[in-house]
Amino acid sequence: MNLLAIDTSNQLLGVAILKDEQIIGEVVTNIAKNHSVRLMPAINQLMNEVSLTPDQLDKIVVAKGPGSYTGVRIGMSTAKSLAWALDIPITGISSLEVLAYQGRFFDGIICPFFDARRGMVFTGFYEWKGKNLVPVYEEKNISMEEVLAKLAKENRRVLFLSPDISVYKENIKEALGESAVIPEGPFHIARPGFLGLAGLSKSADPTHTLTPNYLRLAEAEANWLKAQKENEQNG
């Protein structure tokens, strides 16, 4: 099976190609530039380097969020368009789950998160059971204070993974002490190759109904809904 993995759900842009369970090519950039301009050239470059043509692809896997609203939409729309045009299956994978793959072989709880501003984070808890990554706490948009309170009650080692780790590093250490494990830089970046591995064994999603998982409304959408509700109440 030739699989294309696409992740533009955060600042990172990642593309990988897998042949069965082997990652044969991977492109990762972690710079603040427009994904919409750079994604297709990255895909084309990688496919040329591994000597594959689009008609040789068997499946597409895409990171479906949470993360940047714009980034998630770019990756999702590109992946769905390719899947539709090539008539191949597509699978959406949580961006948090992909990041949790960086904690392979860790014996304890894995807490991947993305900063959602104002003390809030997108997160979920995972752990490895054999070769399987298993969710132990559903993904939510939640305050970091509440996250740390929940983890403190677990009395287990916790691996924190996040491109935004610097925002909460001191809070984590203060709340969990030696139970908190915070690795060095490279572990905090999700690899598109792991996205591909995560999607290998998962069933396909209906192409037309596959949607992003934002975990919360965009601020503009939330403000619009609030205004609509107030207008209805005042009307």
CATH 1.20.1740.10 fits 2-94+190-219, yes or no: no
pLDDT value for 143: 97
Q: Is the peptide bond before 66 cis (omega within 30 degrees of 0)?
A: yes
Cα distance between residue 234 and residue 194, in whole Å? 51
Instruction: Give pLDDT tens digits along the chain (235 positions).
Output: 999 999 999 999 999 999 999 999 999 998 877 899 999 999 999 999 999 999 999 999 999 999 999 999 999 999 999 999 999 999 999 999 999 999 998 999 999 999 999 999 999 999 999 889 999 999 999 999 999 999 999 999 999 999 999 999 999 999 999 999 999 888 999 999 999 999 998 999 999 999 999 987 655 555 655 666 666 666 5
pTM check: above 0.85: yes
Angle in degrees, CA 8, 12, 15, rounded to 5: 60
- 2-94+190-219 shares its CATH topology with 96-181: yes
Would you kindly state where each structural domain of the chain is located, as residue ranges?
Answer: 2-94+190-219, 96-181
CATH 3.30.930.10 fits 96-181, yes or no: no
Distance of CA 60 to the CA centre of its chain: 15
Is 174 exposed, middle or buried (CB count within 10 Å of its CB: 0-12, 13-18, 19+)?
exposed
Cα distance between residue 40 and residue 117, in whole Å? 30
Residues 6 or more apart whose Cβ sits within 8 Å of residue 12: 28, 29, 30, 163, 189, 190
